Amino acid sequence: MKILFLFLDGVGLGEDNAEINPFVRANMPYLQSLLGGKAMTKSTAPFEGERVSLLAVDPNLGVKGLPQSATGQAVLLTGINIPAELGYHYGPKPNPEVAQYLDGKTIFSKTIKANKKATLLNAYPPRYFDGIDSGKRLYSSIPLALTNAGISLFTDKDYYEGRALSADFTGEGWREFLGFPDTPVFDAHTAGTKLGELARQYDFSFFEYWASDYAGHKQDMPSAIKQLETFDGVLKGLLENWQNEDGLILLTSDHGNMEDLSTRKHTAAHVPLLLLGDKNARDEFINVTDLAGIAPAISKLLEL
């Protein structure tokens, strides 16, 4: 069993309101075809289809205040209700109290200890490592968990040589914002195909997409729609080249945000747990109701 974990930062299940929810306005024919012609909104979950399951899971975890990135991501990677243990949600970057959970207790660490292969499929540009080395930038929860497990982050060299993808899937951002005029750029469908090819090389692979949270904070409807329409193409390319026997693709988030552009803040909305692939593997998540239930189900499937 191989698992590809697609993490979309700040994506909740919102209302069927095109004024505030880009999931209602975006043209996403492929995802909607999987969901019986419906958009990925609050009213669609739960949904059970031939190749897909959609559940609504709670990121609030019984703790007051709006869910935050550091704790939410740490819960996804550990299965521990960290906000309940600490008494608060925290983010965006982990403080020392959150960071202690990300050393030895994550899916990354457990996969490596089980002599299996795990990776984060994102490539990072040189300026990211310069920021980390200088102390001006802190790791977010996901790369911190990865490096604590002894796994190296992919670099620009890995991206050029086809071992990783850019955070926007297509590589356009590396040219437009990072000043790499000659980086490979892919259409969305090709990026999805490459994502699947890379994921099949590992027992557990993870891809982090953070621009969705940025669009939510900026209340940027055009950007949100563009991102979702690109993602729909990525998903189509991924699934057209992914067989059920290849394993399970899992998509979820740490908190709501982009689904409600009437606010700049995170939301308390449930987040999607979209499961794609083998029905028996999808059924391992059938009783998951909050973020803390996801990692244990992954660990069971991977036999960690």
Tens digits of per-residue pLDDT, 195-231?
A: 999 999 999 999 999 999 989 999 999 999 999 999 9
Phi, psi (rounded to 5 degrees) for 167: -65, -20
Q: Per-residue pLDDT tens for 246-260? A: 999 999 999 999 999
Mean pLDDT, residues 30-39: 98
Q: Are strands 271-277 and 47-48 parallel, antiparallel or unpaired?
A: unpaired
Domain that holds residue 271: 3-302
- The SS3 of residue 276 is strand
Q: Give the whole-angstrom CA distance, residue 273 versus residue 57.
A: 7
Kind plus residue range of the DSSP H or E element containing 227: helix 221-240
Among the listed residues 33, 52, 35, the one whose alpha carbon sits nearest the alpha carbon of residue 44 = 35
- The SS3 of residue 134 is helix
**Total domains, the chain:** 1
Among the listed residues 230, 235, 303, 237, the one whose alpha carbon sits nearest the alpha carbon of residue 275 = 235
Q: Are 39 and 28 in contact (CB under 8 A)?
A: yes
**Which residue has tokens 């969305």?**
188
H-type helices in 161-220, by residue range?
Answer: 172-176, 188-199, 211-218
Q: Are 207 and 238 in contact (CB under 8 A)?
A: no
The domain spanning residue 242 has which CATH number?
3.40.720.10
Q: Which two tokens stand for residue 270?
A: 């449930």
Mean pLDDT, residues 170-182: 93
